Amino acid sequence: MYSKERTYKIEKKDRNFIPAGINEDVQLKSAKVTKSPMGNTFLEITFEKNGAILTDTEYEPAMGTYTTTEAELQQKEDNQFSRMMQILLCFYKDEDLVFNGESFNDFANWVADKLNAADKSILLRVKCVFNNKGYITLPSYAKYTFIEPMKLPEGKNSIIVELGIDKFVRPVVEDKEETVTNISSDYATDTLKDPMSANSELPF
């Protein structure tokens, strides 16, 4: 039977997300290394502002459609290291950031350990953008500054600015439609025209 009282026991999973744009007074919340359902290791960094959340997910760079050479793969790894350094330098001096490791797992755990040990009372200015899938995250580039402490050295101004490549408006992500091929003319005429056919695709 239906029960209004039981509906109140259902735990809500709503989450408030930090909006796209240049956000101030953001705090680092946590970092962890975990695995996806497919078994791929990734680093997850979470930021928070007034209860709203921003999550950045870093996977191991790999060969793929746009990465076909060792040099391109190395460039991806260097880009990822540089981006993580931007975050770490908000809390540490450069000389305090020494990494020794050969694998992405070593690197991800080092970054997570340093971030979890950081002074989380330090407030940050963070640029948040939409990725191609329509999710808000950190920019994927390393050439431009996307994160910095709110409190900068005397005489220094923020260098985080909106760039033409930044997506502050959610992109339209169209649903993929499967193309049906090789439908014979016999099937098209006999099956679709005859709703009583055993192979009819009609919903009645």
pLDDT one-digit tens code per residue, 19-46: 999 999 999 999 999 999 999 999 999 9
How confident is residue 18, by pLDDT bands cut at 50, 70 and 90?
A: very high
Return the pLDDT at 177. Answer: 56
35-62 burial by CB neighbour count: b if 16+ within 10 A, else e? eeeeeebebebbbbbeeeebbbebebbe
Reported as a single tens digit per residue, the pLDDT across 162-199 is: 999 999 999 887 665 555 544 444 444 444 444 444 44
Return the pLDDT at 162. Answer: 96
Tell me the C-alpha distance between 169 and 132, whole Å.
11
Structural contact between residues 38 and 141, judged by C-beta atoms closer than 8 angstroms? no
C-alpha distances (whole Å) from 169 to each of 46, 140, 143, 158, 194 are: 21, 16, 22, 23, 48
Tell me how far apart the terminal alpha carbons of the chain are, to the nearest angstrom.
Answer: 29
129-147 burial by CB neighbour count: b if 16+ within 10 A, else e? bbeeeeebbbbeebeeebb
Rg (CA), the chain: 24
For residue 88, give the nearest of 105, 63, 112 by alpha carbon.
112
State mean pLDDT over 104-122: 98
Compute the mean pLDDT over every residue in the chain, rounded to the nearest whole number: 87
